[in-house]
Amino acid sequence: MLHIHLDTTTTAHKTLNRSNLNLSTFHEKHDTPATSPKEDISDKWREFHGSSDWQNLLDPLHPSLRREIVKYGEFAQATYDAFDFDPFSEYCGSCKYNRRKLFEKLGLTKNGYNVTKYVHAMSHIDLPQWLEKSHLVETWSKDSNWMGFVAVSDDQESRRIGRRDIVVSWRGTVAPSEWYDNMQRKLEPIGQGDARVEHGFLSIYTSKSCTTRYNKTSASEQVMAEIKKLVKFYENNGEQVSLTITGHSLGGALALINAYESAKNFPGLPISVVSFAAPRVGNIAFRDELYQMGVKTLRVTSKQDVVPRMPGFVLNESLQRFDDITGTLEWIYTHVGVELKLDVRSSPYLKKGLNLVGFHMLETYLHLVDGFHSSESGFRVEARRDVALVNKECDMLVDELRIPHSWYQSANKGLIQNHHGRWVKPVRDPEDVPSPTAVDSRAGGVLELEYV
């Protein structure tokens, strides 16, 4: 990261722009921590979890809330960093690591959570780019993809944040072009009332097939069973429990549907959604039911990102004044919750040209959150998140930083030399190979998903 000299003689908030970047001392800041210190928020956790819709916490952004948003964003980013995107891999569409190693491999043990469950999904409609498939005939699964995980805060983190926090993190999709190609623009019912959601999202969330290895149960059934188990366990121990659901892009849409179902099944449980770059998901009736059930949603968006404006660009929110008329119309989509809107132009580290992929990347969002102080100020001098992370899978950083674009990849594109010196695909550790475990007879022969 760039080294910025802090003037400790004044308490005024300091911001960065291109004129005061000190590029000559770029490497010096490599010796400073890339994260801000954690603070005890146990007495204010309900506010940070959205009990008052984050009133007076977003503009300016409260430092403790900023750290919580980044924490949940890192869980969402983990679903990309650990996902096997390689179409030539026999495990394409799976997670690279078993759940006990996931956070260790990704450097997320600092967040104080343990993964308890992996979630897999499929779809009964044609979404070829949303669900990855291998080029190979023989692969780990022809139908299913790893779509995320359930985790729970450990004892130390639970004391810091004032409750036992269950997290569900959903994987999204990356390229905005996929949204143009695959957005179905069709709403279908969810629940018993007038609520409707986009049917592509709902298909991923609810699809299952008895002929598959990994989706004999749907993503919905997998995640709800795990939430139920964890809520029961910790509440029986006399602990306060919360549910936080996060996701980026498509993952943000799945997070909202997951929150809707969770609120139906666990009335009284504090439920919040922290989404990044999420599209509109459902109609006005869907939004209103979420509000009535007490679900709190914080949408992190960027002015330059097109995905949060989908489906549709002009309609939707502009028609909310006519709620009584439009509430049940099948073609009206609307956003849910409170918005934290970011601006790519606020960061002096980012290029100013048109880059739809870069605008949509989650690491771009996390960079902007880390640098956001208020809508009236520039990028924070005190921002600590490693700037190099922005270029993991795109080309957004200014050339002066000399950070290669799309640098996050396996060495030699995943090939290694065997003992004969030949370049071959590596064999996964047995514990990281996706494999269903033994049949649970009480569940009618449903396979419990796990990496063994």
Query: Active site residue: 360, 367, 370, 373, which one?
Result: 360
From the candidates 305, 335, 346, 373, which is the catalytic residue? Answer: 305
- Judge whether 360 counts as a catalytic residue: yes
CA atoms within 13 A on the CB side of 218: 15
Nearest Cα to Cα of residue 37 among 78, 1, 66, 59: 66
Per DSSP, the residues of 163-211 read SEEEEEEE-----HHHHHHH----EEE-SSSS-EEEHHHHHHHH---TT
Q: Which of 249, 275, 302, 347 is catalytic?
A: 249
Q: Are 76 and 172 a contacting pair, CB within 8 Å?
A: yes
DSSP H or E stretch at residue 43: none
27 is catalytic: no
Secondary structure (3-state) at 380:
strand
Q: How far apart are CA 111 and CA 74, in angstroms?
A: 9
For 245, the enclosing helix (H) or strand (E) is strand 241-248
CA 339/CA 359 separation, integer angstroms: 17
Token reading at 349 = 């580290």
Q: Where are the alpha helices (DSSP H) in 329-400?
A: 356-360, 362-371
**Which one-letter amino acid corresponds to residue 323?**
D
Distance set, CA 382 to CA 8, 15, 24, 65, 371 (Å): 12, 8, 18, 15, 8
Active site residue 305: yes
Alpha-carbon distances of 222 from 140, 184, 227, 411, rounded to whole Å: 19, 25, 9, 34
Residues with active-site annotation: 249, 305, 360
